[in-house]
Amino acid sequence: MRAIRLASAVLLGAGALTSCVPAADAAIRTDFGFNLLPSTVRAGGEVTVHVTRNRACRGEATVDSPAFAPATIPPDESWTTVVVDWDAKPGAVYEVEFECDGSIGIARLTIAGGRPAHHPAHHPTRHPHKGVHAGEGGTLAGFDLKEVGLGTALIAGSLGVAYHFSRRRTDGDAG
C-alpha cells in the first residue's frame, strides 16, 4: 500500500513539474543559445533578438522570419532589434529562424491583438538603437517575476503534497 501512495506522489510531482514548461514559447534548441524578448508583440512593435556567443556561434548570426525583415547580428554583438511588420496577423504564431556558423534554431513569435500607439509614418527619421545593452529589464531568462513566483509556488506545493502523501499513515498502518 505504501508503494502505491509513493508512486502516486511521484507522479503528481512529475506532472506538476512538466506543467510549468510554457508550450507556446518553446524553442527548438541547438548548439548555441538564442531568444526573443518579448516573445509576444503587437504588429509594428519591436523585438530584441539575442544569440549566446560560444564555440558553436562565433561568426555572424542571421535571424529571419515572415513576421519581419531579415536581420544580422555581427560577431562582436549578441543582440539586435527588429520591427514586426504592420501586416502581421494578430493571434498568429510565426517561426523565427536563428542561424550561426551552420547551426540553426527555431523560436516562436506570437502576434498580440491591436496596434501600438505609434506608427512609423509618425516618426519618419528613426535612429537605430546604439549603446550598452544593460540587462533584461525585470525578467529572468524571458520570464517575469510573476511567472517565476507562480512556477515556484506550483513546484513547492506539489512537493509538499507529495511529501504529505508519502508520510501519511492510514488506520491499517498504525497497528
User: 83-92, pLDDT tens digit by residue?
Assistant: 999 999 998 9
What residue type is assigned to position 94 of the chain? Y
Task: Kindly report which listed range (25-34, 42-51, 118-127) carries the lowest average pLDDT score.
Answer: 118-127
Angstrom distance (rounded) from CA 81 to CA 133? 11
Quote the pLDDT of residue 152: 85
Q: Counting every residue, how long is the chain?
A: 175
CATH tag for 31-122 (out of 2.60.40.1930, 1.10.10.10, 3.90.700.10, 3.40.50.11690): 2.60.40.1930
Give domain limits for the chain.
1-22+143-175, 31-122
* Predicted local distance difference test score (pLDDT) of residue 70: 94
Look at residue 43 and tell me whether its pLDDT is greater than 80: yes
Helix (H) and strand (E) counts in the chain: 2, 10
| CA quadruple 138, 139, 143, 149: dihedral sign | negative
pLDDT at 22: 47
Residue 25 has pLDDT above 70, yes or no: no
pTM given for the model: 0.50
Per-residue confidence (pLDDT) for residue 3, from 0 to 100: 62
For the segment 94-149, what is each residue's pLDDT rounded down to a tens digit? 999 999 888 888 999 999 875 544 555 444 444 444 444 444 455 555 556 677 77
